A and B are shown apart, each in its own frame.
Chain A
Amino acid sequence: MKPVLEVRDLMVTYPPRRGAAPARAVDGVNLQVRQGEIVALVGESGCGKSTLARALVGLVKPTGGQVLGGGEPLGYSAAALKAYRRHTQLVLQDPGGALNPRQNVFDAVAEGPRLHGLTDRLGERVHAALARAGLRPPEEFAGRFPHEMSGGQQQRVVIAGALALEPSVIVADEPVASLDASVRGEILKLILELRDSLGLSALVVSHDLGLAWNIADRVAVMYLGRIVETGTVEEVLLRPKHPYTRALLSVLPDSDERPVLLTGEPPDPAAVPGGCRFHPRCPLRAAEQDTLCDSRDLPVLTGDPSGSSLAACHLVH
């Protein structure tokens, strides 16, 4: 089965700021999203997860590697990007910022179809998208402006805007981070429903491991530009291999594990350590005093989702 969305050896390097080295935000990533699958990409701020999301929808041009939509390499001409984005839509974190305050709901949702010349029975299309996003009855919401809606409703409008183009995959960057706890669950439910009813695939970027447990089939843990562990949600979250994943899980308030607090400097993509990139903060290396970690680079994990979980670590296997 061909993945609906794939990246191969993706690199995104931002040009250096004055005096500094270039920032390797995404530093070799393989990842696949298959039909009807929800993949969670988790990591802390600065790990490159948002850059990867932007590269997936063609907003950032990779400096190396490939993005493939439906098996086809993504072209970066305006026309190619436009065609690509009919099938791959981005949902952003802060719906208040994503929506134009002077545009009503109908126009916000109709913007995509209009850009793509899908003006035939536009009203029907917009209303169907609103209803799918849970804004029912759609007629009641179409005339409203963002400020007349709650945060949860605004996020539903953003999702409706993505759905109006009937995409095959949605890339959602922290779709619930700015929402209240009770609303969060409702939006996550919606993403699951869309997968079940439309077969929609999704890559959800988040710092929240609970979100992955709630909705994802597979999870990829990112650290400093690389995916350090990937597998099914059960494998990675219940039987984590990589010391970074283990540390992340251990500091959750509900964890039974003894919390492993990582110390040291926060990771800086402009100064990626040699050897294993996690070694300066790794509790396992500290315990085992293994010099392999400091010197030998790790191979990039394959994006192939069919095998068991993978961890980029010298010490666990």
Chain B
Amino acid sequence: MTARDRTRAPETPGSTRGPDRVPETPGAASGQDRTPETPGEASGQAPAPQGRPGTPMLDVRDLRVTYRNGERAVPAVRGVSFTLDRGQTLGVAGESGSGKSTMALSLLRLLAPSAEVSGEVLFEGEDLLTARWARLRAVRWSAASVVFQGAMSALNPVRTIGEQICEPILLHEKVGQREARRRAAELLDSVGVPSRRAGSYPHEFSGGQRQRIMIAMSLACRPDLIIADEPTTALDVMVQAQVLELLGELVRESGIGVIMISHDLSVLSHMCERLAVMYAGRIAEIGPSRQLIAEPRHPYTRALGRAFPTIGDPASRLAPAGLPGDPPTPSELARLSEGRGCAFEPRCSEAVAACRTETVELWPSGPRREAACLRVLEGSGT
């Protein structure tokens, strides 16, 4: 998959939109009235080396993660590659156990020691998987940050949110307490939490507000990349819409790259310009969101898309669409990794004999998109 070379001039947001650009949420400020932080400015402050022109900001190559527990080995991520540029948004969809969260957290080496990670995670040309801890700690927060799911458990319950937002700023930048507090207040205001509440504790906020605070924290050191792991999963529809709009607005304004993980394909397809659908630790299909939703080439993408009905669509009225069977269990995953064949074959309604024996990998399935399905090679389904 080629990196999308959209070098966007931050002064003119909205001017260089590709044809696959996610429709802008109506009502969202497009940023003209604020001073956007240019990506150049942001990386100038971050201690990450300046990326060479032509190299993507993030280049993930053959990423593999295996959880080891004594004799047992569970391959959670089984060879994932993708690239992401500044200002690009990539949605990663998949069901529980598909490896999507493991994949995302492994990028910044946030997994427990029982996880063995291999492959390359090139961030501005530097491999984070082999980087020294001190270097990695410098990258975390300031160059790339994470919005975790479940803000209640990710925030420290006994420290005020103001202190928690100041912490990465004080750690990573040569600023004093006062300046850090001023920045924290600014951040809180920017995410719609009144800055006078900086002295409050996490439990004094609602779920949606806590998630906004998490987003404020992730922005504290003006990173180039945000990894958002199910940022709205526990929230109500209305609150979810508010948080997503906030996130979308911030991304449009500042040209931050975003990797957003979710099980909800419809949310991702509206937030992200590109979409990767994961199944059993691999990418099953990747490409521009709109195309993946409108014309899925992988049967799993198709099934996942149908699982979220569009209200008003007569095809789904009194006809819920599911997918028989269950995703592979950890032990089945281990077996899959040894043999050939498509991991989705047992649940696939279009499977043929070859699906059990051939090695399946991502093949080009259209302009700037790929699918890991044998039928793509046949050229059928177009």
- By a beta-carbon cutoff of 8 Å, the part of chain A in contact with chain B is 44-45, 150-153, 180-189, 192, 207, 209-210, 213-215, 233, 237-238, 247-249, 251-255, 258-259, 261-262, 266
Distance between A258 CB and nearest chain B CB, rounded to angstroms: 5
CB nearest neighbor in A for B241: A251
Q: In the complex the two chains form, is B318's CB within 8 Å of A209's CB?
A: no
Among residues of B, the one whose C-beta sits closest to the C-beta of A195 is B318
Residue B270 lies at the interface, judged by CB distance under 8 Å to chain A:
yes
Beta-carbon nearest neighbor of B303 in chain A: A182
A213 touches B322 (CB 8 A): no
The answer to whether B320 and A185 touch across the interface, beta carbons within 8 angstroms, is: yes
Q: A124 CB to closest chain B CB, in angstroms?
A: 26
Chain A positions within 8 Å of B345 at CB level: none
* Contact across chains for A44 and B320 when beta carbons are under 8 A apart: no
The answer, yes or no, to whether B266 is at the interface (CB within 8 Å) is: yes
Majority SS of interface residues in chain A?
helix
Task: Give the nearest-CB partner of B240 in chain A.
Answer: A251
Q: A184 with B206: in contact, given A189-B320, A238-B312, A261-B242 (CB under 8 Å)? A: no
B322 contacts A192, C-beta separation under 8 Å: no
Classify the secondary structure of B's interface with A: loop
- Chain B residue nearest to A262 (CB atoms) is B238
Complex Cα–Cα for A312 and B239 (A): 23
Known: A185-B323, A210-B311, A214-B320; 7 extra A-B contacts, CB below 8 A, are: A180-B95, A185-B321, A185-B322, A186-B322, A207-B236, A253-B269, A261-B27
Checking B312, B318, B347 against A215 with a beta-carbon cut-off of 8 angstroms, the contacting residue is: B318
> Is B294 interfacial (CB 8 A cutoff)?
no
B4 nearest CB across to chain A (Å): 22
Shortest Cβ distance from residue A43 to the other chain B in the assembled complex, whole angstroms:
9
**In angstroms, how far is the closest chain B Cβ from the Cβ of A295?**
26
A266–B264 Cα distance when bound, in Å, is 24
Name which of A180, A182, A252 has the most chain B CB atoms within 10 A of its CB. A182
> Nearest chain A CB to B277's CB is how many angstroms away?
11
CB of B32 within 8 Å of the partner chain: no
The answer on a CB contact under 8 Å between B326 and A152 is yes
Taking CB atoms, residues of chain B closer than 8 Å to A153 are 326
Considering the chains assembled together, what is the distance between the CA atoms of A207 and B206 in angstroms? 18
Q: How far does the Cβ of A286 sit from chain B's closest Cβ, in whole Å?
A: 15
User: Chain B residues near A150 (CB, 8 Å)?
Assistant: 326-327, 329
Verify if B308 is at the interface (C-beta below 8 Å from A): yes
Nearest chain B residue, comparing its CB with the CB of A38: B318
Residues of A near B241 (CB, < 8 A) are: 251, 259, 261
12 contacts between A and B (CB under 8 A): A151-B96, A180-B95, A181-B304, A182-B304, A182-B307, A183-B323, A186-B322, A249-B311, A253-B266, A254-B266, A254-B310, A259-B26
**CB–CB A259/B320 < 8 A:** no
Complex Cα–Cα for A97 and B307 (A) = 24
